[in-house]
């Protein structure tokens, strides 16, 4: 039995092993009309590998494999670990259609009490294959799963593999990193109860350009992502028998054990895989397409508006008159949503107190929050608010009333980070309380934008005596999703910005339930550009919230012009974080012009494809956007590190790659007309008309 799952331009072909013990990968790559042979055991396996260890299994368990890595570990508590599987043919479901394909293959273990179903779906809109598993326990005793990953991916790039990934820390997220793996295991993940600041759950694999390149051309690139916002692990294992490198990923197996009591089941998070024949950049574009078409609820400006956020201008010193002064200027600049960040609620004079007490501070807002919101709306903007609903300060009424609501390892001291504890969202009463707090806020005040923050890892979970106590990071994440779903369903006009001390919780699952994400607390434009460059390799511009600020970066502190700072923020979802009262009339005037220009271009930035040229640390770096089919403008954001333009030197050129070779384009604002072929071959001159150190070039197709 063989099944071909079609994506937009690729095929994913799997078959059932002849003995019905598992599903194997037969082909993953460009669509061709060649019939794919089902995988068969190599005639001669050298060494110690058994057939199940060397088969390119789509999902493997201990007990089935003997020495090779397994995505699933089964422990029934009787020393006979593992399970072996036989397909339940009657339960196989394969649907193939115009819009996409789906496959479910169920297996029963040798005791007849565990059922494992492998799921896969594709869509004709994009090139992503989504895979996950369900495990059901119909036996009478509990089964423990010390590891219950989502999928194993047999990536056909040979065993000497280049892995591109994203690593970082607070204010330095999404740094591009690369490792060349030559027979070994590479593992990234998070034990932070969240996606985490250290790694993004996504890798790109290509064959190492030398010895193994005959196996696959280097232009053949594969991406694998885990769509999960709790603790996780992703491992790349090139030490396999066969011609592929295995990527396995799922809920973190170090900090989590799933328990299935009699009659219970576990549905894993989804994992996503993508192939591109256009190399690493092609994989980025394939992710973007998927995120635009399958994850975003829409791509309208309503849910990615121009924001002014007053945090950096005021920090905790929130005063209504001051906020209104800022709002007045923001409205003049063309801002669409005025967001009040931290510091608006009772007792919140610093990060040491108040978290959890979500009522507007009567001292700061004698007329209630609506007094500010109404005035903001009168000025033609929407009103937005910051919340951090998962956490509580010890110095808060909430904690004084419900000290038992936080995660705590019994008998150990409570751990506070940024002076706060985490609410146990594994408890139904706590989740309901959070939902009610948000409902009350959103119905009592005309709020249409929420910035949801989370400023510490989730640690020390584990409810003593609860058989599911070791799943707290899974429960927490599912409750977070549940609340986000509630917000979408009950308040569809409310835009949601997801934040966790900057980019601490960004993944495809968050993208599917929020509208924009706060990529980093780093707002220094030069450092921000490095973060955005890495971000765009796996995530799209339409979620990349970015503020113009007057702060210098933590690392590269060299100054940049206001235009440069706008050009950085305009390449995503533009916002402003500066103290607007400190800007003079000229700066405000310039800012207003840039906001207007951004509004003309955002359709291309948010709905198009993007590709980066060079690196932000190069002298010249460019991010290129090509608009969607109904708006095929090309927008080039160009950044120059060498800001001294007085020196006599050749005027720089950029080399866009997304133009159609046989079309002509006018460089907007000039008489210059270029053909697509000449622009790609000889480049486009950068006049630096936008700013001395940055430019925004628009190429309008003429035919
Ligand atoms: C986090 C966020 C910031 C800001 C502060 C407020 O650090 O990432 O943008 O909201 O919290 O306390």
Three-state SS for 359-422 is: CECCCCCCCCHHHHHHHHHHCCCEEEEEECCCEECCECHHHHHCHHHECCCCCCCCCCECCEEE
State which ligand 1 atom lies nearest to the alpha carbon of 502.
8
Of the candidates 52, 58, 222, the one whose C-alpha atom is nearest the C-alpha of residue 150 is 58
Say what the pTM is. Answer: 0.97
Of the candidates 311, 268, 57, the one whose C-alpha atom is nearest the C-alpha of residue 147 is 268
Longest dimension (CA), the chain: 81
Angle at 419 between CA 418 and CA 424, to 5 degrees: 95
**Residues 290, 129: Cα–Cα separation, whole Å:** 10
Q: Is 521 in the pocket of ligand 1 (CB under 6 A)?
A: yes
Token representation of residue 98? 């115009």
Q: How far is CA 332 from CA 337, 359, 567, 580, in A?
A: 12, 30, 20, 11
How many other C-beta atoms can be found within 10 angstroms of the C-beta atom of residue 585? 7
- Rounded (10°) angle between helices 320-333 and 369-378: 20
How many other C-beta atoms can be found within 10 angstroms of the C-beta atom of residue 30? 12
**Residues 116, 84: Cα–Cα separation, whole Å:** 11
Q: What is the pLDDT of residue 599?
A: 98
Task: Specify whether the backbone of 106 is left (phi greater than 0), alpha (psi in -120 to 50) or beta.
Answer: beta
Helix/strand/coil percentages in the chain, nearest 5: 25, 30, 45
Q: Is 502 in the pocket of ligand 1 (CB under 6 A)?
A: yes
Which residue has the least CA distance to atom 1 on ligand 1? Answer: 501
Residue ranges of alpha helices (H) inside 549-672 are 562-570, 585-607
Q: What is the pLDDT of residue 55?
A: 93
State which ligand 1 atom lies nearest to the alpha carbon of 501.
8
* 3-class secondary structure, 562: helix
Of the candidates 503, 516, 514, 511, the one whose C-alpha atom is nearest the C-alpha of residue 543 is 516
Contact assessment for residue 595 and residue 306, using Cβ atoms and an 8 Å cutoff: yes
State which ligand 1 atom lies nearest to the alpha carbon of 521.
8
Q: Is 499 in the pocket of ligand 1 (CB under 6 A)?
A: yes
Of the candidates 135, 122, 17, the one whose C-alpha atom is nearest the C-alpha of residue 71 is 135
Q: Is 455 in the pocket of ligand 1 (CB under 6 A)?
A: yes
263: Cβ contacts below 8 Å, ≥ 6 apart: 137, 138
Of the candidates 307, 292, 302, 295, the one whose C-alpha atom is nearest the C-alpha of residue 627 is 292
543: Cβ contacts below 8 Å, ≥ 6 apart: 291, 296, 304, 511, 514, 515, 516, 517, 572, 573
Please choose from 497, 499, 503, 519 the residue to mutate so as to test ligand 1's pocket, defined by most ligand atoms within 8 A of CB. Answer: 499
**Residues 629, 632: Cα–Cα separation, whole Å:** 6
Which residue has the least CA distance to atom 9 on ligand 1? Answer: 521
> What are the residue numbers of the active site?
453, 521
Give the residues across from 143 on adjacent strands: 260
Please choose from 455, 456, 497 the residue to mutate so as to test ligand 1's pocket, defined by most ligand atoms within 8 A of CB. Answer: 455
Using DSSP bridges, classify how beta strands 221-227 and 199-207 pair: parallel, antiparallel or unpaired: antiparallel
Which residue has the least CA distance to atom 11 on ligand 1? Answer: 501
CA of 50 to the centre of ligand 1 (A): 53
CA of 600 to the centre of ligand 1 (A): 30
* Strand ranges, E, within 138-231: 143-148, 151-155, 160-167, 175-182, 185-190, 199-207, 221-227
Average pLDDT per block of 10 residues along the chain, 703 residues long: 97 97 97 92 76 93 94 94 96 96 98 98 98 98 97 94 97 97 95 97 91 66 98 93 90 97 98 97 98 98 98 97 98 98 97 98 95 98 98 98 94 94 97 98 98 96 88 96 98 98 98 98 97 98 98 92 98 98 98 98 97 94 97 97 68 94 94 94 94 96 92
Of the candidates 440, 438, 397, 392, the one whose C-alpha atom is nearest the C-alpha of residue 416 is 392
Which residue has the least CA distance to atom 8 on ligand 1? Answer: 501
Token representation of residue 616? 């932000």
Using DSSP bridges, classify how beta strands 664-667 and 673-675 pair: parallel, antiparallel or unpaired: antiparallel
CA of 521 to the centre of ligand 1 (A): 7
Q: What is the pLDDT of residue 41?
A: 84
Residue in this structure with the two tokens 């609620």, named with its chain if needed: 345
CA of 667 to the centre of ligand 1 (A): 40
450: Cβ contacts below 8 Å, ≥ 6 apart: 384, 385, 386, 387, 438, 442, 487, 494, 495, 496, 497
**Residues 74, 94: Cα–Cα separation, whole Å:** 27
**Residues 82, 80: Cα–Cα separation, whole Å:** 7
Which residue has the least CA distance to atom 7 on ligand 1? Answer: 501
557: Cβ contacts below 8 Å, ≥ 6 apart: 524
Which residue has the least CA distance to atom 2 on ligand 1? Answer: 501
Please choose from 350, 386, 451 the residue to mutate so as to test ligand 1's pocket, defined by most ligand atoms within 8 A of CB. Answer: 386
Please choose from 342, 520, 575 the residue to mutate so as to test ligand 1's pocket, defined by most ligand atoms within 8 A of CB. Answer: 342
Q: Is 386 in the pocket of ligand 1 (CB under 6 A)?
A: yes
CA of 453 to the centre of ligand 1 (A): 7
**Residues 295, 517: Cα–Cα separation, whole Å:** 13
CA of 179 to the centre of ligand 1 (A): 32
Token representation of residue 28? 């993953």
Q: Is 453 in the pocket of ligand 1 (CB under 6 A)?
A: yes
Token representation of residue 237? 């294992």
Q: What is the pLDDT of residue 465?
A: 85
**Helix or strand run (H / E) with residue 680:** helix 676-682
Contact assessment for residue 152 and residue 58, using Cβ atoms and an 8 Å cutoff: yes
């Amino acid at each position: 039995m063989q099944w071909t799952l079609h994506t937009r331009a690729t095929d994913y072909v799997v078959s059932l092993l002849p003995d019905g013990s598992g599903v194997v990968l037969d082909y993953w790559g460009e669509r061709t009309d060649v019939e794919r042979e089902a995988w068969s055991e190599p005639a001669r396996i050298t060494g110690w590998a058994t057939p199940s260890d060397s088969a390119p299994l789509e999902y493997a368990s201990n007990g089935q494999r003997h020495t090779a890595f397994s995505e699933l570990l089964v422990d029934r508590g009787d020393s006979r670990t593992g399970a072996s599987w036989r397909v339940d043919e009657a339960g196989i479901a394969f649907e193939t259609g115009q819009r996409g394909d789906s496959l479910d293959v169920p297996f029963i273990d040798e005791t007849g009490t565990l059922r494992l179903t492998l799921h896969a779906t594709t869509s004709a809109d994009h090139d992503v294959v989504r895979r996950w598993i369900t495990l059901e326990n119909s036996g009478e005793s509990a089964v423990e799963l010390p590891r219950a990953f989502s999928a194993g991916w047999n990536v056909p790039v040979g065993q000497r593999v280049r892995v591109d990934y994203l690593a970082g820390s607070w204010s330095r997220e999404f740094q591009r990193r690369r490792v060349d793996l030559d027979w070994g295991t590479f593992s990234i993940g998070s034990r932070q109860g969240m996606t985490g600041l250290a790694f993004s759950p996504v890798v790109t694999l290509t064959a190492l350009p030398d010895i193994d390149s005959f196996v696959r051309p280097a232009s053949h690139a594969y991406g694998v992502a885990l769509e999960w916002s709790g603790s996780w692990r992703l491992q790349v294992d090139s030490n396999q028998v066969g011609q592929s490198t295995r990527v396995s990923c799922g809920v973190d197996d170090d900090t989590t054990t799933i328990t299935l009591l009699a009659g219970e089941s576990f549905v894993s998070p989804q994992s996503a895989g993508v192939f591109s024949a256009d190399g690493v950049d092609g994989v980025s574009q394939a992710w973007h397409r998927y995120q635009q078409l399958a994850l975003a609820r829409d791509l309208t400006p309503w849910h990615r508006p121009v924001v002014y956020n007053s945090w950096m201008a005021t920090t905790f010193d929130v005063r209504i008159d001051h906020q209104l002064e800022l709002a007045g200027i923001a409205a003049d600049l063309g801002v669409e949503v005025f967001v009040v960040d931290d510091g608006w609620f009772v007792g919140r004079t610093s990060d040491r107190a108040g978290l959890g007490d979500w009522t507007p501070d009567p001292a700061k807002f004698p007329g209630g929050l609506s007094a500010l919101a109404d005035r903001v709306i009168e000025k033609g903007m929407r009103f937005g608010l910051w919340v951090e609903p998962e956490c509580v300060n010890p110095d808060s009424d909430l904690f004084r009333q419900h000290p038992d609501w936080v995660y705590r390892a019994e008998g150990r001291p409570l751990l506070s980070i940024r002076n706060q504890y985490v609410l146990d969202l594994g408890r139904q009463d706590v989740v309901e309380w959070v939902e009610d707090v948000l409902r009350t806020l959103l119905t009592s005040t005309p709020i249409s934008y929420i910035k949801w923050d989370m400023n510490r890892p989730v640690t020390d979970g584990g409810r003593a005596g609860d058989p599911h106590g070791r799943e707290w990071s899974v429960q927490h994440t599912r409750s977070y999703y549940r609340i986000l779903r509630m917000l979408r369903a009950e308040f569809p006009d409310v835009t949601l910005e997801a934040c966790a001390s900057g980019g601490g919780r960004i993944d495809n699952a968050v993208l599917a339930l929020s509208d924009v994400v706060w990529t980093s607390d780093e707002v220094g434009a030069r450092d921000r550009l490095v973060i955005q460059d890495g971000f765009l390799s796996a995530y799209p511009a339409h979620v990349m919230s970015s503020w113009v600020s007057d702060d210098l970066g933590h690392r590269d502190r060299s100054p940049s012009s206001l235009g440069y700072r706008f050009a950085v923020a305009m390449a995503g979802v533009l916002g402003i974080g500066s103290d607007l009262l400190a800007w003079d009339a000229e700066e405000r005037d310039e800012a207003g012009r840039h906001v207007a220009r951004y509004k003309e271009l955002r359709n291309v930035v948010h709905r198009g494809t993007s590709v980066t040229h060079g690196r932000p640390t190069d002298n010249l770096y460019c991010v290129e956007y090509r608009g969607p089919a109904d708006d095929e403008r090309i927008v080039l954001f160009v950044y120059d590190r060498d800001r001294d333009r007085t020196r006599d030197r050749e005027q720089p050129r950029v080399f866009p790659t997304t133009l159609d070779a046989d079309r002509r384009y006018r460089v907007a604002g000039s008489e210059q007309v270029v053909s697509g072929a000449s622009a790609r071959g000889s480049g486009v001159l950068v006049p630096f008309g936008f700013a001395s150190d940055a430019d925004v070039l628009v190429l309008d197709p003429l035919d």
